């Protein structure tokens, strides 16, 4: 998607025995007091949930420029600034000084060893228009290859967080550098062959709902069904159900999440041999909807007993 996105929740719902990646909730936090964040982390910890942040850059950062001058790249129209701004400016030393300060504070608030650095959907047009950025690229020997500039920025940010004893998570764009991949199976094969650990998210974007029993599609995903060695498949440490917020708020969050997220959860939390039959999953997910008091969407035609008031 070319437009900005606000991460409402990433439900990291993968756990033993099938995968080693433990259950988490990743919450997009904007202008929230650190004491409020600590309360969220404490509340989650008491329920066995880990909370980790995503600070996506260099793209998706327009709001950052409101509070930090000279962070974003000034865009040009010809030889004149256009008055608009693009991604974070990777050519300025002040950028990395700011990021080091930011992530040091983030690390003091979020105790989890993982931190999500984003790195997705970077539009190069503003960088290309800026004469200072182009001069920096020539100085660094990047020529006109803006993927090298993006890689330079991300490597610096990863180094900053590594120095803080954090393990970085990034979107696949950081690996692909704008190369188009035909399927998530092909992407899994490529990334694991390069020796990287993977969390699979692509087939579980549950804001992409459709008519009918689309929960079945989420239930039947097989994260290890790709071409690769056993060693490669050990690098797939889990899956991630994502919900983006362009068309989601408090009015429809719960019914969009469920039963779709629970379908993925059962598959990933359970032994695959015992949870491969989608028809047998139906009554279990129906119980989840009808007995837990969750306002989940119906799995199919029918109703819960407590909804039936008689005639």
pLDDT at 17: 43
Q: Which two tokens stand for residue 109?
A: 């608030």
Distance CA(170)–CA(155), nearest Å, equals: 11
pLDDT at 3: 34
Active site residue 121: yes
Question: Could you tell me which residues come within 8 angstroms of residue 171 by beta carbon, excluding any fewer than 6 positions away?
Answer: 118, 119, 120
Distance CA(113)–CA(99), nearest Å, equals: 18
Tens-level pLDDT at each residue, the chain (311 residues): 333 333 334 543 333 445 555 444 444 434 456 788 899 999 999 988 888 889 999 999 999 999 999 999 999 999 999 999 999 999 999 999 999 999 999 999 999 999 999 999 999 999 999 999 999 999 999 999 999 999 999 999 999 999 999 999 999 999 998 787 889 999 999 999 999 999 999 999 988 888 889 999 999 998 999 999 999 999 999 888 998 888 888 899 999 999 999 999 888 888 888 888 999 999 999 998 998 888 899 999 888 887 776 65
pLDDT at 50: 85
User: Which of these, 207, 124, 208, 112, lies nearest to 169 by C-alpha position?
Assistant: 112
Question: Could you tell me which residues come within 8 angstroms of residue 208 by beta carbon, excluding any fewer than 6 positions away?
Answer: none
Domains of the chain with bracketed CATH: 7-248 (3.20.20.80)
Give 98-126 as a 3 state SS string: HHHHHHHHHHHHCCCCEEEEECCCCCCHH
In DSSP terms, which residues pair with 118 in a beta bridge?
Answer: 170
Distance CA(258)–CA(113), nearest Å, equals: 29
Distance CA(131)–CA(63), nearest Å, equals: 24
pLDDT at 32: 54
Instruction: Tell me which of 121, 246, 266, 272 is the catalytic residue.
Output: 121
pLDDT at 101: 96
Cis omega (within 30 of 0) for bond into 259: yes
């Amino acid at each position: 998607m070319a437009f900005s996105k606000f991460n409402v929740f990433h439900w990291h719902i993968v756990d033993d025995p099938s995968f080693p990646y433990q259950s988490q909730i990743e919450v997009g936090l904007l202008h929230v007091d650190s004491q409020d964040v600590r309360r969220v982390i404490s509340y989650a910890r008491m329920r066995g949930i880990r909370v980790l942040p995503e600070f996506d850059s260099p793209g998706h950062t327009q709001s950052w420029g409101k509070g930090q001058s000279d962070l974003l790249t000034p865009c040009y129209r010809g030889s004149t600034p256009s008055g608009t701004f693009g991604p974070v400016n990777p050519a300025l030393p002040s950028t990395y000084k700011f990021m080091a300060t930011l992530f040091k504070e983030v690390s003091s608030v979020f105790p989890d060893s993982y931190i999500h650095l984003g790195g997705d959907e970077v539009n190069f047009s503003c960088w290309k228009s800026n004469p200072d950025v182009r001069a920096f690229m020539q100085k660094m020997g990047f020529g006109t290859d803006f993927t090298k500039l993006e890689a330079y920025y991300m490597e610096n940010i990863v180094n900053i967080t590594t120095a803080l004893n954090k393990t970085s998570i990034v979107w696949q764009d950081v690996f692909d550098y704008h190369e188009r991949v035909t399927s998530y199976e092909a992407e899994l094969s490529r990334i694991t062959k390069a020796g990287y650990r993977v969390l699979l998210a692509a087939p579980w974007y549950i804001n992409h709902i459709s008519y009918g029993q689309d929960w079945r599609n989420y239930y039947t995903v097989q994260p290890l069904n790709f071409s690769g060695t056993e060693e490669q498949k050990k690098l797939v440490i889990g899956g991630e159900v994502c919900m983006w917020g362009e068309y989601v708020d408090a009015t429809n969050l719960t019914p969009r999440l469920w039963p779709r997220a629970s379908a993925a959860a059962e598959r990933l939390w359970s032994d695959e041999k015992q949870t491969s039959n989608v028809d047998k999953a139906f009554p279990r997910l129906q119980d989840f909807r009808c007995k837990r008091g969750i306002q989940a969407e119906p799995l199919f035609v029918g109703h819960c007993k407590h909804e039936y008031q008689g005639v």
